[in-house]
Amino acid sequence: MITGKKVILRTVNPEELDYLYRLITDINKKGPYWHLNIPPLNKFRDEYRETGFWSRDEGRMLILSHDGDYVGEILYFKGLDYQSGYEVGYELFDEKHGGKGYMTEALMLFCAYMFAVWPINRIQVNVMSGNTASIRVVEKCGFTYEGTMRQATFHNGVYHDLNLYSILRDECPSLDSLLPENSQS
């Protein structure tokens, strides 16, 4: 568990699987930029049984408020075999959590954690063009814009451009520097 000033990041507990499944598959609360794929429940449970949603190639953590609200999730996964590092994706479970700094802190903590535990030098995020909230998040976290992949994703019946952002190990603050002082002892 990683406790920040606004959020808590932690892996998924078995008793949360059904609730988490409902949260990530409720497309009515997804907002305009999150992919609308709904995985089958049995496959979702099988993946958890096999990996606990945490392996060398992919994983996910929940983003919780200090009040215990399920704010969202943050994921990492290997991109192409020849690429160094991981790609990260994130989502709010409900737009009511937007604009409070939860995702910015979660992304920064998550990246610092990933650099602390994996021997990687790069993390990248793809943001759909027009997703100004997510662009603000990655920019606040120190990610660098690298370019646009034209019509690289299909979403809600339309092809969209993806903006590629990355952060390198030496550009990311250390995990210790991001933790509130009372949790560093």
- Residue 128 pairs in a beta bridge with 162
> Per-residue pLDDT for 185 more than 50?
no
pTM of the model: 0.90
Dump pLDDT digits (tens) for 125-144: 999 998 999 999 999 999 99
How does DSSP assign 150-166, residue by residue? EEEEEETTEEEEEEEEE
Count the neighbouring beta carbons within 10 Å of the beta carbon of residue 80: 6
Q: 180 burial class (0-12, 13-18, 19+ CB within 10 angstroms)?
A: exposed
* Per-residue pLDDT, 36: 64
Question: How, if at all, do strands 58-65 and 7-10 pair?
Answer: antiparallel
- Please state, in angstroms and rounded to a whole number, the distance separating the CA atoms of residues 70 and 85: 27
Length of the chain: 185
- Domain limits, the chain: 2-183
H or E segment and range at residue 109: helix 102-117
Percentage above 70 pLDDT, the chain: 95
* Per-residue pLDDT, 182: 55
The three-state secondary structure class of 99 is: coil
Q: 76 or 153, which is more confident?
A: 76
Specify the CATH class of 2-183 in words: alpha beta
Q: 142 burial class (0-12, 13-18, 19+ CB within 10 angstroms)?
A: middle
Dump pLDDT digits (tens) for 154-184: 888 889 999 999 999 999 999 999 998 755 4
